């Protein structure tokens, strides 16, 4: 009985880690793809685009410049992003 409990805890942790890794990879790929679209996009259109991307992906979208200043946001406004994700 104890062996099954330990095995269950191990497998639960393993699958949770696999899910988080997969989710991170998916979000990084989505962010990289979106960064190519917004690179040359008109600043006035960024807000609308961020909401469309958020609806399509089901996630919060923040578009920032290279200095970490948010240009478009689908959630609460902020003045600066501390450590922005840099899509390659």
**CB-CB neighbours of 26 under 10 Å:** 12
Instruction: Single out the residue of 37, 67, 68, 70 nearest to residue 52, CA to CA.
Output: 37
Q: Is a pLDDT exceeding 50 seen at residue 88?
A: no
pLDDT of residue 21: 92
The pTM score is 0.53
pLDDT digits (tens, 9 = 90+) for 14-55: 999 999 999 899 888 888 887 887 888 887 888 888 888 888
pLDDT digits (tens, 9 = 90+) for 74-87: 876 555 555 555 55
Burial of residue 60 (number of CB atoms within 10 Å: 0-12, 13-18, 19+): exposed
**CB-CB neighbours of 31 under 10 Å:** 18
pLDDT of residue 57: 78
CB 42 within 8 A of CB 28: no
Q: What is the CA radius of gyration of the chain?
A: 18
């Amino acid at each position: 009985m104890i062996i099954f409990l330990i095995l269950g805890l191990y497998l639960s942790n393993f699958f949770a880690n696999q899910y988080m890794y997969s989710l991170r990879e998916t979000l990084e790929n989505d962010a990289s793809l979106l960064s190519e679209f917004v690179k040359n996009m008109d600043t006035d259109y960024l807000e609308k685009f961020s909401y469309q991307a958020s609806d399509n992906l089901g996630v919060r979208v923040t578009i920032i410049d290279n200095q970490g200043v948010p240009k478009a946001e689908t959630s609460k406004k902020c003045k600066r992003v501390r450590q922005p994700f840099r899509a390659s």
